[in-house]
Structure 1
Amino acid sequence: MKKIFYTQVIFMLLLSWGCNDDDFLNRPPTNILTEEQVWGDEGQVLSVLADLYNRYVDLSNFRDFPRPGLSTLAGWTRMADFNEAFWSEAGRYGDFQNSGWDYNTWSIWDYGYIREMNLFIRKCTEAEKLSPAVKERYLAEARFLRASYYFELVKRMGGVPLILEPMTYDFNGDPTYLQHARAKESEIYDFVIREAEEIKSKLPVNASEKSRATQAAALAMQARAALYAASIAKYGVNTPQVALPGGEVGIPANLATGYYTKALSAAKEIISGSAGVYALYNKKPDLSENFASIFYDKANNSEVIFAEDYKLQSGKVHYFTGWNQPRYGAEEEEGGRINPSLNFVEAFEKLDNTFAPIPVANAAGTPLYYTNQIDIFAGRDARLGGTVMLPGTTFKGRAVDIWAGFQLANGTIVSGDDRGAQKTLPGKTVPEQVVGFDGPIDGFEFTAQTGFYLRKYLDPVVGSGQRGVNSEVWFIRYRYAEVLLNAAEAAFELGQPAVAAGYMNQVRERAGLITPLKAADVNFDRIAHERRVELAFEGHYHYDIQRWRIAHLVMDGNAISAADLSKDLGKATKRNTQPWALWSYKIYDPASPNNGKWIYKPVKLSRVTGSDRFQLGNYYSLIADDIINNNPKIVRNPNH
Structure 2
Amino acid sequence: MKRNIKYLTIAFAASLTIASCNSDFLNTDPLGEVSESAVWTDPALAEAFVTGIYQGFGNGGFNEEMLASLTDEAIFTHPGRGLTTITEARVNSADVGWNNAGNRTYNWQRLYSYIRRTNIAIAELSEPQFGNDGGIVDRLLGEAKFMRAFYYHDLARYYGGVPLIDRPYELGEETYEESRATWEETINFILADLDDAATLLAGKSMANGRTSELAALALKSRVLLYAASDLHDGPTASGNSATIASFSDLELLAYSGGNRTERWQKAQAAAKAVLDQTTGNLFGLSEPVSHEEGIQNYINNSLSRNGGEKELILARYFINMKQEDGGRQGLFNGPNGYNNWAGNSPVQLLVDDYEMMDGTEFDWSNSAHASAPYDNRDARFYGSILYDGAQWKPRATANQPRDPLGQIQTGTYEVTNSSGAKDTHFGLDTRNSPIEDWNGSYTGYYVRKFIDPDPAIVDQNTWQEVPWPFIRYTEVVLNYVEASLELGQEDEARNWLNQIRFRVGQPAVTESGDALVERYRNERRIEMAYEEQRFHDVRRWMIAEETIGRQANTINITGTLKSGQTLSVYRYDPEIYNYVYTVQPIDPGKENRTWLDKMYFMPFHRDELNRNANLIQNPGFD
Q: Same fold (TM over 0.5)?
A: yes
Equivalent in 441, 445, 448 of residue 452 of structure 1: 445
Q: Which amino acid aligns with 1:270?
A: V
Q: Is the 8 A contact 1:203 1:214 kept in 2?
A: yes
For residues 596 and 357 of structure 2, the distance between their equivalents in structure 1, rounded to whole angstroms, comes to 36
For residues 50 and 584 of structure 1, the distance between their equivalents in structure 2, rounded to whole angstroms, comes to 53
Equivalent residue for 1:394? 391
| 2:378 is equivalent to residue 381 of structure 1 | yes
Q: Is the 8 A contact 1:578 1:612 kept in 2?
A: yes
Offset, 1:497: 1.1
Q: Is the 8 A contact 1:617 1:638 kept in 2?
A: yes
Offset, 1:35: 2.5
Offset, 1:626: 2.0
Equivalent residue for 1:514? 507
Q: Which amino acid aligns with 1:36?
A: S
SS in 2 for 1:394: coil
Equivalent in 575, 590, 596 of residue 615 of structure 1: 596
Offset, 1:586: 4.0
Which structure: larger Rg? 1
SS in 2 for 1:221: helix
Farther off after superposition, 491-500 or 108-117: 108-117
For residues 87 and 183 of structure 1, the distance between their equivalents in structure 2, rounded to whole angstroms, comes to 35
Q: Is the 8 A contact 1:118 1:166 kept in 2?
A: yes
Offset, 1:402: 1.0
| Aligned CA-pair RMSD | 3.5
Offset, 1:505: 0.7
| 2:220 is equivalent to residue 222 of structure 1 | yes
Q: Which amino acid aligns with 1:321?
A: G
| 2:328 is equivalent to residue 322 of structure 1 | no
Equivalent in 576, 597, 603 of residue 596 of structure 1: 576
SS in 2 for 1:31: coil
Equivalent residue for 1:163? 165
Equivalent residue for 2:249? 245
Q: Which amino acid aligns with 1:218?
A: A
Q: Which amino acid aligns with 1:149?
A: Y
Aligned CA distance change for structure 1 residues 397 and 483 (closer, same or farther; 3 Å): farther
Map 1:33-72 to 2 at 5 A.
33-56=34-57, 58=58, 60-64=60-64
Q: Which amino acid aligns with 2:70?
A: D
Q: TM-score, normalised by structure 1?
A: 0.79
Q: Which amino acid aligns with 1:308?
A: R
Equivalent in 129, 134, 137 of residue 136 of structure 2: 134
Equivalent residue for 2:618? 637
Farther off after superposition, 214-223 or 586-595: 586-595
Identity among equivalent positions (%) equals 24
Equivalent residue for 2:304? 297
Aligned CA distance change for structure 1 residues 455 and 463 (closer, same or farther; 3 Å): same
Q: Is the 8 A contact 2:565 2:576 kept in 1?
A: no
Q: Is the 8 A contact 1:100 1:611 kept in 2?
A: no
For residues 462 and 34 of structure 1, the distance between their equivalents in structure 2, rounded to whole angstroms, comes to 48
Equivalent residue for 2:122? 121
Offset, 1:116: 1.8
Q: Is the 8 A contact 2:209 2:317 kept in 1?
A: yes
Q: TM-score, normalised by structure 2?
A: 0.81
Aligned CA distance change for structure 1 residues 277 and 97 (closer, same or farther; 3 Å): closer
SS in 2 for 1:525: helix
Equivalent residue for 2:520? 527
Q: Which amino acid aligns with 2:128?
A: A
Equivalent residue for 1:350? 356
Q: Is the 8 A contact 2:562 2:578 kept in 1?
A: no
SS in 2 for 1:551: coil
Q: Is the 8 A contact 2:250 2:256 kept in 1?
A: no
Offset, 1:239: 2.0
For residues 492 and 181 of structure 2, the distance between their equivalents in structure 1, rounded to whole angstroms, comes to 35
For residues 402 and 206 of structure 1, the distance between their equivalents in structure 2, rounded to whole angstroms, comes to 50
Which 4+ residue blocks in structure 1 deviate beyond 6 angstroms? 281-284, 591-595
Offset, 1:394: 2.4
- How many residue pairs get matched? 560
Farther off after superposition, 88-97 or 394-403: 88-97
| 2:425 is equivalent to residue 434 of structure 1 | yes
Equivalent residue for 2:193? 195
Aligned CA distance change for structure 1 residues 152 and 97 (closer, same or farther; 3 Å): closer
Q: Is the 8 A contact 2:323 2:463 kept in 1?
A: no
Farther off after superposition, 577-586 or 306-315: 577-586
Equivalent residue for 2:609? 628
Offset, 1:376: 3.8
For residues 37 and 542 of structure 2, the distance between their equivalents in structure 1, rounded to whole angstroms, comes to 51
Equivalent in 533, 539, 547 of residue 546 of structure 1: 539
1:136-183 Cα shifts (integer Å, max 9, x gaps): 111111111101111111111111111111122327xxx43x322111
For residues 255 and 239 of structure 1, the distance between their equivalents in structure 2, rounded to whole angstroms, comes to 21
Offset, 1:338: 2.6
For residues 447 and 217 of structure 1, the distance between their equivalents in structure 2, rounded to whole angstroms, comes to 38
Q: Is the 8 A contact 1:144 1:196 kept in 2?
A: yes
| 2:339 is equivalent to residue 337 of structure 1 | no
Aligned CA distance change for structure 1 residues 467 and 384 (closer, same or farther; 3 Å): closer
Aligned CA distance change for structure 1 residues 629 and 405 (closer, same or farther; 3 Å): closer
Equivalent residue for 2:179? 181
For residues 81 and 189 of structure 2, the distance between their equivalents in structure 1, rounded to whole angstroms, comes to 38
Aligned CA distance change for structure 1 residues 603 and 378 (closer, same or farther; 3 Å): closer
Unaligned runs of 5+ in 2: 1-17, 100-105, 396-405, 567-572
Aligned CA distance change for structure 1 residues 28 and 634 (closer, same or farther; 3 Å): closer
Equivalent residue for 1:308? 316
Q: Is the 8 A contact 1:552 1:614 kept in 2?
A: yes
Unaligned runs of 5+ in 1: 1-16, 65-75, 369-374, 407-413, 415-421, 557-575
1:366-413 Cα shifts (integer Å, max 9, x gaps): x73xxxxxx64232211111111122222335523314223xxxxxxx
Q: Which amino acid aligns with 2:331?
A: G
1:250-303 Cα shifts (integer Å, max 9, x gaps): 223644222211111111111112xx4544489995322321222323566111
Offset, 1:246: 5.4
Q: Which amino acid aligns with 2:380?
A: R
Equivalent residue for 1:112? 113
Q: Which amino acid aligns with 2:32?
A: N
For residues 253 and 280 of structure 1, the distance between their equivalents in structure 2, rounded to whole angstroms, comes to 41
